[in-house]
Structure 1
Amino acid sequence: MPVPTPLRAAIVGTGGIAKSHLRALRSHADRVELVAAVDINGDAAEAFCAAAGGTATPYTDLDAMLAAERPDLVSICTPPTLHADQTATALRAGAWVLCEKPPCPSLAEYDAITAAEGAENTDEPGRAGPFASIVFQHRFGSGAVHVRRLLAEGALGRPLVAHCQTTWYRDTAYYAVPWRGRWATEGGGPAMGHGIHQNDLLLDLLGPWETVNAMAGRLVHDVETEDVSTALVRFRGGALATVVNSVLSPDEVSRIRIDCELATVELVHLYGHSNANWTITPAPGVPAEQAAAWRNFGADVPSGHGPQLGELLDAMAAGRRPRASGPDGRTSLEFTTALYKSAFTGRPVTSGSIGADDPYYTVLHGNAPGWAPEAPAESR
């Protein structure tokens, strides 16, 4: 059964990030249309629908919207603590999902999302799924696609050393929003809510990681979570990397650098990249024509929600699992979980070692003293 065109889409949560999802939908207006928006604040839902052009219907209840509109695709744009339940609800209603990062506050919740997905194998195109894809939009720009291909083909030689840096600045007003900086509602600090984008891109470029050894600190902000973390990472292919996540850095930058045998690849940007943000520096002795070929990125497609949505729509049409879903989407959350576990236990953590009986599987702070929220006085 072919997927109908245009697809019917709904947005859940009409805060700031919902605008990015709306722009993405508009960039594929020939394939998908917004039919509804949901927000517990009815006025906010109405205002969002009006700003979107007035053709979408506002709702204050997710279940009511799913029953009335039967959307093919649902974008989840609410705070992280709501992601798992809302994503699973949309999946069970038959909708595919594009869920904002971070996917959810724990591996346990992510695995519950995967359990709510549809079948993965089918002989009839258009009938697989539905699946839930996590917004890791930095993977989908043309620069990332080009560099991933060069690395996968071995064109640049073996990756040896890497640096991944998300050093941003957030003031006290930023943390005045009640759900930020709290384990129960945000899930984590900059390692989870900010650096996860660059960390995900690093993992996507270098492949499976093997071991992480991390530290975390709460140096400035009066929050439950960390406000800075650092980590040393060994990848299965042998490369060694440093990872820094911070909200204490006035000179803000997002950076990935990978030193390979034949070239250094570097990406420097802040919240999104185009081809111009990537540089490839050849090692001495590399022929000029070879270096020129490496630097030919082709048509410029900036990273963003639009390119990722395009790949998701392609997956829906083909009846296949999209990238950044299932095990592929879980990779970055597992890495973040391992980073926290290493930081709070003082020991290295290996990939695949956090099982369902591990306290870090359920909550990212793992009930570590000094990091877990204190119990109310009457229960102590």
Structure 2
Amino acid sequence: MSSIFNVAVVGLGIGRSHITEGYVTNADKFRVKAICDLDPARLNEVGDAFGVERRLTDFEVLLAMDDIDIIDICTPPGTHLAQVMAALRAGKHVICEKPLVGSLSQIDSVIAEEKVSKGLLMPVMQYRFGDGVEQARAIIDAGIAGRPYIGTVETLWRRDADYYAVPWRGKWATELGGVLMTHAIHQHDLFTYLMGDIKRLFGRVATRVNAIEVEDCVTASVELANGALGSLTATLGARDEISRLRLMFENVTFESDHEPYNPGARPWTIQPRNAEAATRIEALLKDWKPLPSRFEAQMGRFYQTLLGKAPLPVTSADARRSLELVTAFYHSSSTHEDVELPISTQHPRYDSWVPPQHRAA
């Protein structure tokens, strides 16, 4: 008989999607035992919809609940550090939405706490899961794709004034960044997940679409540690929304599905450059069984980790890599210089990428 883990979901914006996609679909593995939000109306709406009796406005109360195994943090980014650290210190397993925290120094503190905690920490990177991206990763891991040459990533989304009417959005103190942090972070994670670590970045950020503190347009040129090159572009001023990755390897070119919020799901366009690669890909994928995507897949695999049967599907090291890219982006834009990665503890933005005028006194 399999174990069922009890979950508390904190923050019922994206948290509702975690319940719908991640826990209802894995009802034999998880039970949402408690929900927490500052809005009583939303608490009751979600509680009634999913039959959750424990409805709290105080996060601290969750930490003392002995029957809660997992705390799933879906609150605004500015609250993540304190909540992740408190949950780890309480011995809970922790799932946390992106961005995990607000600086490299903060994530290093989290990683240090994670090493001594009884609980496991899994950052959320749900775009990694689905038939398209997982077939591409299988082809790369099998050695069929060969050397990576060049890749492009486009995150062309639309966010208007009504989106930023939510008080915590668009502000450095609470959102910690703009399109680079809250929207393109998934696609940039996919790029490094498939192509390799970034060695050097030259980038720009700008605020051109909305009257907000943070950026809503970015672009960068990157060099990878393996010698490949890439370009990363994102905006919140698009008319039609797409997320698109096009990755050129020695023997294969991959292009993602263009669905903005689930580019990893449906089969990607896979173009072999020669007959040998085509034959090997056909043999590799011949018995491929359709896979779930997004939260359903990530939570399902986390369950296998909790049982000791598989490694973490996404790690704090993965989250750190994504925040290192963010740090390099902001620093390059402000200095007009290349930034070399990895970023050391002596780097001027190791403790914060937030512009000085927006930092807390």
Q: 1:354 deviation in Å?
A: 3.9
Query: What stretches of structure 2 of length at least 5 have no aligned partner?
Result: none
Please name the residue that 2:143 is paired with: 154
- Equivalent of 1:86 in 78, 83, 88: 83
Q: 1:288 deviation in Å?
A: 4.9
Aligned partner of residue 307 in structure 1, secondary structure = helix
Distance 1:210 1:272 in 2: 27
Please name the residue that 2:269 is paired with: 279
Q: Determine if the alignment matches structure 1 residue 110 to structure 2 residue 104.
A: no
Contact 2:191 2:245 in 1 (8 A): yes
CA offsets per residue over residues 113-171 of structure 1, 9 Å max, x none? 2222244xxxxxxxx84122111011122322221122133201211010011111111
Distance 1:103 1:79 in 2: 10
Aligned partner of residue 349 in structure 2, secondary structure = helix
Distance 1:374 1:75 in 2: 27
Contact 1:136 1:324 in 2 (8 A): yes
Q: 1:184 deviation in Å?
A: 0.9
Distance 2:15 2:118 in 1: 24
Please name the residue that 1:124 is paired with: none
Contact 2:131 2:266 in 1 (8 A): no
Write the letter of the residue equivalent to 2:38. Answer: I
Q: Determine if the alignment matches structure 1 residue 346 to structure 2 residue 336.
A: yes
Q: 1:302 deviation in Å?
A: 4.0
Distance 2:208 2:66 in 1: 47
Q: 1:25 deviation in Å?
A: 1.0
Q: 1:296 deviation in Å?
A: 4.8
Aligned partner of residue 353 in structure 1, secondary structure = coil
Aligned partner of residue 117 in structure 1, secondary structure = helix
Please name the residue that 2:49 is paired with: 51
Identical-pair percentage? 34
Pair 58,257 (structure 1): closer, same or farther in 2 beyond 3 Å: same
Aligned partner of residue 106 in structure 2, secondary structure = helix
Pair 207,297 (structure 1): closer, same or farther in 2 beyond 3 Å: farther
Aligned partner of residue 184 in structure 1, secondary structure = helix
Distance 1:41 1:181 in 2: 20
Q: 1:287 deviation in Å?
A: 6.4
Write the letter of the residue equivalent to 1:360. Answer: R
Bigger shift: residues 70-79 or 278-287? 278-287
- Equivalent of 1:76 in 39, 62, 73: 73
TM-score (norm 1): 0.88
Please name the residue that 2:193 is paired with: 204
Task: Show the 5 A alignment for 1:320-339.
Answer: 322-339=312-329
Contact 1:99 1:134 in 2 (8 A): yes
Q: 1:190 deviation in Å?
A: 0.4
Pair 201,193 (structure 1): closer, same or farther in 2 beyond 3 Å: same
Distance 2:275 2:289 in 1: 28
Contact 1:359 1:366 in 2 (8 A): no
- Equivalent of 2:122 in 129, 133, 151: 133
Contact 1:212 1:342 in 2 (8 A): yes
**What is the RMSD computed on CA atoms of the aligned residues?**
2.3
Contact 1:106 1:187 in 2 (8 A): no
Q: 1:292 deviation in Å?
A: 3.2
Q: 1:39 deviation in Å?
A: 1.3
Contact 2:343 2:350 in 1 (8 A): no
Query: How many residues are matched?
Result: 359
Contact 1:255 1:266 in 2 (8 A): yes
Task: Show the 5 A alignment for 1:206-285.
Answer: 206-268=195-257, 269-273=259-263, 276-285=266-275
Contact 2:135 2:285 in 1 (8 A): no
Contact 1:143 1:297 in 2 (8 A): no
Task: Show the 5 A alignment for 1:289-328.
Answer: 289-293=279-283, 296=286, 298-318=288-308, 322-328=312-318
Please name the residue that 1:125 is paired with: none
Please name the residue that 1:373 is paired with: 358
Write the letter of the residue equivalent to 1:373. Answer: H
TM-score (norm 2): 0.92
Write the letter of the residue equivalent to 1:100. Answer: E
Pair 342,259 (structure 1): closer, same or farther in 2 beyond 3 Å: same
